[in-house]
């Protein structure tokens, strides 16, 4: 759908949107350094300070809470050369258990040791080198190495999928884990203190910002860059482990991987929009410049999409990052039961547990509506349906 004006310097692509989301977006758009406008994606919903699904271009400033506490959260997908018929005899329950064994699932779980897979060492070495080069202090997270290759909780997931051709895909969603969370909270607090120090009146404390040219800004960008790289490599590490287990059970080897897409949906980076250099924050959105591929997942039990950006200038070269929640976790637990979830997951191998009731597809917006609203932002390349699901606990 074409965007609608929803306020000064605010364009909205969502056909179904809450008043609270619009109010948050208007407050963000009213910040003095926005250029040229804030873009609300089709899956937008209330968040911390800024709505999730908001694209925020800023001149010489960054809002740490707008980037969020799960820095670099995003998606990775691997397309294989295999078709559904090639894995007809694959024991999906056994594969799910294999994956759950090699990838720590809950927010508080870490890898017990780092030498289980030979491909892990290079990623850790890269992150160590980047931290040393950039002066990133990770003393607040002494176990960051053990976090690499762990999924976390909430709506993070791992899936085995089939596309419209019945081609097999490996799919997962995660971010920068505990280390990214601590980096984010540290700099959100710094931004709030700086705004208080200079008597800056904010419409919301979580819109506190850091100004370019200050040591605090430079420190945040260095830490942010490291955390975004950690999130990217964390997804790559989990995918390497997932692929390792998959090819073992399928009786093949890793040469079946034919393509890989790894994209952030909570991050900041320098871009040029409307003739000016800005810091472009995608808080729950993917990069969708012309020809750029990205992944837009549905909810547990619904379709996901591999897409290519159309380079919409008014959309700030962005697109939605998923279905977006309709109900809070508490509200979802009031409305739905474990039996409701079982009904929605028929035909999909998953861990049958009441802890996932709040992730039922009904708690999310319709991915079909989100994709229809995004038709001017992206072209759909592939439509995926899951046959196995692993949720973060």
Strand ranges for the chain from DSSP E: 4-7, 10-12, 38-45, 52-58, 61-62, 74-83, 157-162, 167-174, 210-211, 257-264, 266-273, 276-283, 285-287, 293-296, 304-309, 318-320, 378-391
**How many other C-beta atoms are found inside a 10 Å radius of the C-beta of residue 98?**
19
Bond prior to 20 in cis (omega within 30° of 0) = no
What CA dihedral angle connects 14, 15, 18 and 23, to 10 degrees? Answer: 50
Distance of CA 99 to the CA centre of its chain: 20
Angle at CA of residue 170, ends 231 and 156, nearest 5°: 45
Give CA–CA dist 170/236, Å, rounded: 12
Bridge-partner residues for 161, per DSSP?
169, 386
**How many other C-beta atoms are found inside a 10 Å radius of the C-beta of residue 35?**
16
DSSP line for 34-70: B-S-EEEEEEEE--SSS-EEEEEEESSEE-HHHH-SS
Q: Known catalytic residue: 45?
A: no
The residues, ordered by sequence, that sit 6+ positions from 9 with a Cβ below 8 Å of its Cβ are 29, 30, 34, 36, 37, 38
Strands of 4-7's sheet, edge to edge?
A: 4-7, 10-12, 38-45, 52-58, 276-283, 266-273
Give the DSSP letter of residue 384.
E
CB neighbour class for 165 (10 Å; exposed up to 12, middle 13-18, buried from 19) = exposed
Give CA–CA dist 393/391, Å, rounded: 6
Catalytic one of 37, 264, 321, 382: 321
Bridge-partner residues for 380, per DSSP?
307
Helix (H) or strand (E) holding 93: helix 92-102
Give the catalytic positions in this structure: 321
């Amino acid at each position: 759908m074409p965007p609608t004006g929803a306020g000064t310097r605010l364009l909205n692509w969502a056909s179904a949107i809450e008043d609270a989301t619009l109010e948050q977006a208007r407050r963000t758009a009213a910040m003095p350094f926005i250029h040229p406008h804030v873009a609300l994606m089709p899956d937008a919903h209330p968040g911390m300070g800024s709505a999730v699904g908001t694209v925020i271009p800023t001149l010489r400033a960054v809002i740490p809470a707008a980037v969020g506490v799960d820095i670099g959260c995003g998606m990775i997908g691997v397309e294989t050369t295999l078709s559904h018929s090639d894995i007809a005899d694959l024991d999906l329950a056994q594969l799910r258990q294999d994956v759950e064994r090699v990838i720590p699932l809950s927010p508080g779980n870490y890898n017990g040791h780092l030498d289980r897979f030979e491909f892990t060492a290079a990623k850790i070495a890269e992150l160590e080198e980047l931290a040393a080069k950039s002066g990133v202090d990770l003393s607040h997270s002494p176990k960051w190495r053990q976090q690499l290759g762990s999924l976390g909780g909430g709506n993070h997931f791992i899936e085995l999928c089939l596309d419209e051709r019945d081609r097999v895909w490996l799919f997962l969603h995660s971010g920068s884990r505990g280390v990214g969370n601590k980096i984010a909270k540290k700099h959100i607090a710094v931004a709030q203190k700086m705004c208080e120090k200079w008597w800056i009146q904010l419409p919301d404390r979580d819109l506190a910002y850091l100004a370019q040219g200050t040591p605090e800004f430079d420190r945040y960008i260095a830490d942010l860059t490291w955390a975004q790289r950690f999130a990217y490599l964390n997804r790559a590490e989990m995918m390497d482990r997932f692929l390792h287990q998959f090819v073992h059970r399928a009786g093949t080897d890793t040469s079946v991987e034919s393509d890989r897409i790894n994209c952030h949906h909570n991050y900041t980076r320098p871009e040029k929009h409307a003739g000016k250099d800005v810091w472009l924050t995608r808080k729950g959105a993917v990069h969708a410049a012309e020809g750029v591929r990205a992944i837009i997942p549905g909810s547990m039990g619904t379709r996901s999409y591999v897409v290519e950006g159309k380079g919409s200038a008014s959309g700030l070269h962005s697109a939605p990052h998923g279905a977006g929640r309709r109900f809070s976790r508490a509200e979802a637990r009031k409305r739905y039961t474990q039996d409701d979830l079982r009904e929605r997951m028929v035909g999909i191998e998953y861990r049958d547990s009441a802890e996932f009731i709040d992730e039922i597809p009904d708690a999310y917006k319709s991915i079909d509506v989100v994709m229809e609203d995004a038709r001017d932002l992206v072209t759909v390349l592939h439509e995926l349906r899951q046959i196995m699901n692993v949720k973060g606990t």
